[in-house]
Amino acid sequence: MICFIVPHNQEAVEKHNYGVEDSNTMTIVPIEEEKINTLWEINFFDELNKKFGLMISTGEDEKISGQDNLNNILIFTEKYIKEYPQNEYLYLVKNLLQEAIEKKTELNIYL
């Protein structure tokens, strides 16, 4: 299953690092594969990988952490939203990035 996870605090980050997923201390958003494919179709993940040195791909996990990195990827996502305002999953990524920034944690992506 494809899933995005934002831990709510540093304790939740540590738990998540040890494989614990707790919906009380983490925002956990499962997404169907065909829906996430809309982000692949507009090259969002490919461009994100290229620009930020990430390795987001099917079957891979990626963690986006660090306030500067999260902010830069938020700006990148907002630019994509201007180009593809009809893609609701860009808004989902934006909201999760904003949450990770606010909580000073990270965004975990499992494809």
The answer, yes or no, to whether residue 74 has pLDDT greater than 80, is yes
Average confidence (pLDDT) over 40-54: 95
Contacts of 105 by beta carbon, 8 Å cutoff, 6+ apart: 6, 7, 8, 9, 10, 12, 13, 65
Q: What sign results for the dihedral spanned by CA atoms 31, 35, 38, 43?
A: positive
Over range 8-34, report the average pLDDT.
Answer: 94
pLDDT per residue as tens digits for the range 77-111: 999 999 999 999 999 999 999 999 999 999 999 98
Strand order of the β-sheet with 61-65 is: 26-31, 2-7, 106-110, 61-65
Q: Which residues span the domain enclosing 7? A: 2-110
- For the chain, the residue count is 111
Q: Number of folded domains in the chain?
A: 1
The CATH number linked to 53 is 3.40.1760
SS3 74: helix
